[in-house]
Amino acid sequence: MEDNAPRTEADWQRVEHEAIRLLIAALATRLGGSENGVTKMAEEQQWIKSSQEMTEIGRIILQTARDKDYEAVLDAGNRLIEPCSACHAAFPVDAQQ
């Protein structure tokens, strides 16, 4: 992982940009989508909880990227596994089609 650590200002800007993309995706996930089945799933408590956790972790990643704290960025990124896995387990991709 150390090989991937940002070293320049441009590297850190890329990390920040990706953190913003993650945060936007997390916020969009909360909305569900335009298909009726996905919109209904977005009303479920597990969906709401997972998307809120994803959003909070996205905010942490963005802040730690702005602080240029690579270790904290990685730690926060690892925290995404739980809410993402929980949501995908509760709402399999096949169920959304």
Instruction: For residue range 8-62, list pLDDT tens digits in order.
Output: 999 999 999 999 999 999 998 888 876 667 788 888 999 999 999 999 999 999 9
Whether residue 42 contacts residue 95, with contact meaning beta carbons closer than 8 Å, is answered with no
Q: Residue 82 carries which DSSP code?
A: H
The 10s digit of each residue's pLDDT in 53-64 is 999 999 999 999
Predicted structure pTM score:
0.85
